[in-house]
Structure 1
């Protein structure tokens, strides 16, 4: 059974993947943070999270270039911390990448519902899964070339949005009741800022997924750092610009609990019959599609890597004989995502919207993975000083320590403000750990390159 992936991706493909994985976060999801923190409070939270992501990416590139493996963080933690560390990092990454797509699919449905009010947004979300799982199965180079094109269109559309609404921007609108619903800063403002952390993370969530394409990258020790650094700088500019302009065009509270804040913000400026609005809805779908499509690639590679190493059933690592893609992993993640789309029919969590809960679940996985990755970086510096590091962490040890410290703060805050979703996350991990323990013997026979420490001189 074939269990290897072919290197076909260049630096532009990987940059498109880095930005495309994340860019839907500029289109929706983040505005839920306004409901908790207000515009000014959320701006502070977003800047803190931006510092975390920038320091994290400048550090994470050391791991991705030293250990180019489809498992990404799972591979780094396995090598640094052993099988249990690998399990925690792999499970967390899997949760992040499996639960992000249903939130994006729901937003795709919401955007299409603006044009087709009579069609159920959830059915359109399922349709998006069917289309883009198929495209991912057909071939990675085809998939990532498509990703690059729609990412460029999505970036252009965000710039158009900012240009169209800029004449109507007013800082007074943006700042009105900007501290958690109040015009003055208070202790409640601080609480709201911490509660909004998951939605600030959504601005940047999944950029680390480029690491999961490492086995399919040409010269990953050069192309991946370029993709990461170019990607995070692109996203920083877009995230702050979109948030500030959207919040300054009118009553921002009307945008704080919906899945399509940009069309609604533009509607307030140009009217609901404007061609600009219809262009934003249609072309804006490219931003959602870019992330949705890219994260399907990411979750499939994570499932593939975990199954190949024995952490999941081996049949999930099957590679399609014609297309060379992990097709069963693509379908398996899609089934979970579609079930999540309809989960509000069976379970209510914490009084939040379905999208907000799915976003929170995905972000919990991401933060645990960030902590495990930075911990692994410090451990590998000590245990494998001779490991080749083509792109050492910038500002080591200060920047990696900042990334680790901020990630820990984010995790503690999220658990405090989201106890039910956090409990569900812990429950999933407990079940997965039971499988991990029961299959220990099988993993002993599946040594995978990149998961074992190099022999010490």
Structure 2
């Protein structure tokens, strides 16, 4: 029986996966993390970041086993479906959509704010909406074209961060970094965890292009691990350099901590300061573009397996991209721009991420026991220690979020309850569609 709906095109190599992985996350180095200073101080946020870095290292090395064993556009949704059945898949799919769909408008608002900063006549919301339209169109052109664009933007963003580090590092003063380092004690460290996660959030989105990777041994593992190493070095370097430029209170509440840091070093009228502010869009563009790729594949996979309307799984015959998933995702993101501010979008996105990490690690443990013969091109190192560390740290992070950001967690879990009720009301639990393409 012939399937009239074409499959996704296999066009990605490790370098593309590295670019998509770094691109998905690199905007986190440009804004958002510095809000953690407001609840933890410089040393408090650094401790939170080191904990989250440990979480991501153990998680990604473990998660890569799932990605290479089950190369599916659904990512965590597909792993949970194989491990726990339809209900587990529903939880993972919902959490993944929340993570990516809310991260995208947060970055869109930052893009709009940057454009407004550079050109005050352009309203923030107009620039944000135009960004959605422009980058959705780019993604409609095809995955290879989108991946090359992601690679170029990522390289430019990395070059910009290296330039930034080179300019401000010589002006680093330890006294500035240690000024009022933990004003809220250890409670501040836990309150800062979502802002530390923002430095890495959405990295697992590489899994959602797994079906579009060329058949090459360990290509996914190479892309994932190289992206994580790149992001860790950049995140710690940027955070420490900025923290040593001035007392953190001057930078904790800004959406543009990097340009402001260069302005403090060189002066606002210095050409390099203005250049940095102008090209600062590269990091935001790289992440915005990469996350659009990821959420469209998640919507596509959920629709293909019957969890969303089937029309969302339609693939364009020529470009071989999920065009309805791209368009619907853009509409939802634009609506979010008008309903929530940046900080709430960031926290909701990180809540979804932590739930994804918990479900994924549980799926890894379950599949090791229930399906020992599953082909595993890459096995989690130091099993079961690495996945156990990732799971424990994710659970601690979720508990901290429930304590410090209770009403946003309530919103997230209320939405999950509604989805589960509808899932059972429409009888989806009785008619699961096992459409994993492994």
2:407 to 420, 426, 429: 420
State the 1:221 CA deviation: 5.1
Which residue of 1 is the match for residue 68 of structure 2? Answer: 65
The 5 A counterparts of 1:315-354 are 315-344=311-340, 354=341
**Count of aligned pairs:** 435
Which residue of 1 is the match for residue 142 of structure 2? Answer: 139
Specify every segment of 5 or more residues in structure 2 that has no aligned partner in the other structure, as ranges: none
Match of 1:342, SS state, is helix
- Asked whether 1:196 is paired with 2:192, we answer yes
2:129 to 126, 132, 147: 126
Give CA deviations for 1:248-269 in whole Å, capped at 9, x if unaligned. 1113212112211111111111
- Asked whether 1:244 is paired with 2:240, we answer yes
2:380 to 393, 398, 401: 393
CA distance in 2, matches of 1:65, 1:443: 29
Change (3 A) 1:371 1:445: closer
The 5 A counterparts of 1:423-434 are 423-434=410-421
Residues 65, 220 of structure 1: 8 Å contact kept: no
1:38 to 34, 38, 41: 41
Structure 2 length-normalised TM: 0.97
Which residue of 1 is the match for residue 275 of structure 2? Answer: 279
CA distance in 2, matches of 1:58, 1:99: 25
- Asked whether 1:435 is paired with 2:422, we answer yes
Change (3 A) 1:404 1:226: same
Which residue of 1 is the match for residue 227 of structure 2? Answer: 231
CA distance in 2, matches of 1:445, 1:379: 19
State the 1:9 CA deviation: 0.6
Specify every segment of 5 or more residues in structure 1 that has no aligned partner in the other structure, as ranges: 181-187, 345-353, 452-457
Match of 1:31, SS state, is helix
State the 1:322 CA deviation: 2.6
State the 1:326 CA deviation: 0.8
Match of 1:23, SS state, is helix
Give CA deviations for 1:374-406 in whole Å, capped at 9, x if unaligned. 000000000011111110001100011000000
Structure 1 length-normalised TM: 0.93
Which residue of 2 is the match for residue 369 of structure 1? Answer: 356
- Asked whether 1:11 is paired with 2:17, we answer no
State the 1:79 CA deviation: 0.3
CA distance in 2, matches of 1:212, 1:439: 27
Residues 3, 308 of structure 1: 8 Å contact kept: no
Which residue of 2 is the match for residue 183 of structure 1? Answer: none
Which residue of 2 is the match for residue 378 of structure 1? Answer: 365
CA distance in 1, matches of 2:207, 2:367: 17
Which residue of 2 is the match for residue 306 of structure 1? Answer: 302
Match of 1:219, SS state, is coil
- Asked whether 1:449 is paired with 2:436, we answer yes
CA-based RMSD of the aligned residues comes to 1.4
